[in-house]
């Protein structure tokens, strides 16, 4: 899954989620992507406002007349997007608790039904899964309502 920042000629910005760059290009060519604000079919990719890195704890300032307000708005938007994404993941992933590593292997080796799971793994279990080529990512322990 790839997420692109998009905009229309009126300057409305929005996100688009696609399976691949080719999927985006195909949908754009077939005029299947439109602005959710004004329905314009003239959509283009734009640079992302937010770049997260381990070194950068605060967002880069946005060039506006009121730069401080823009940074605050940007932080609020990022936090809101993170809340929404986290709630979506929590709602759509089965919690397998302490059995995460074992269940991830069973799914990877087609010994259990394919599905999205979440749970707890030690650092050693996580590293072992990665070494086996099992796609996993680590986030802090979250429960519904943690981000409100």
Q: How confident is the model at residue 52 (pLDDT cuts 50, 70, 90)?
A: very low
Would you state the pLDDT for residue 83?
78
Whether the pLDDT of residue 54 is over 60: the answer is no
Average pLDDT, whole number, for the chain?
79
Alpha carbon of residue 67 to chain centroid = 26
Please enumerate in sequence order all residues whose Cβ is within 8 A of that of 65, keeping only pairs 6 or more positions apart, or say none: none
Q: Rank 49-63, 73-87, 102-116 by mean pLDDT and report only the highest.
A: 102-116
DSSP H helices in the chain: 21-29, 67-92, 100-108, 123-131
- Whole-model pTM: value is 0.44
Angstrom distance (rounded) from CA 117 to CA 107:
10
Angstrom distance (rounded) from CA 53 to CA 44:
25
Identify the CA nearest to 143 among candidates 76, 93, 103.
Answer: 93
**Mind listing the pLDDT tens digit for each residue in 10-46?**
989 998 888 888 989 999 999 999 999 899 999 999 8
């Amino acid at each position: 899954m790839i997420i692109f920042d998009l905009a229309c000629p009126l300057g409305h910005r929005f996100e688009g989620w696609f399976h691949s760059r080719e999927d985006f290009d195909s949908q754009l060519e077939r005029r299947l992507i439109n602005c959710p604000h004004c329905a314009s079919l003239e959509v283009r990719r734009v640079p992302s406002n937010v770049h997260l890195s381990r070194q950068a704890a605060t967002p880069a300032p946005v060039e506006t007349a009121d730069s401080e307000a823009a940074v605050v708005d940007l932080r609020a938007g990022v936090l809101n997007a993170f809340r929404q994404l986290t709630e979506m993941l929590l709602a759509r992933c089965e919690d397998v608790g302490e059995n995460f590593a074992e269940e991830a292997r069973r799914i990877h080796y087609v010994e259990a039904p394919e599905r999205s799971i979440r749970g707890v793994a030690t650092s050693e279990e996580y590293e072992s899964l990665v070494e086996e080529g099992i796609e996993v990512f680590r986030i802090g322990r979250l429960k519904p309502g943690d981000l409100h």
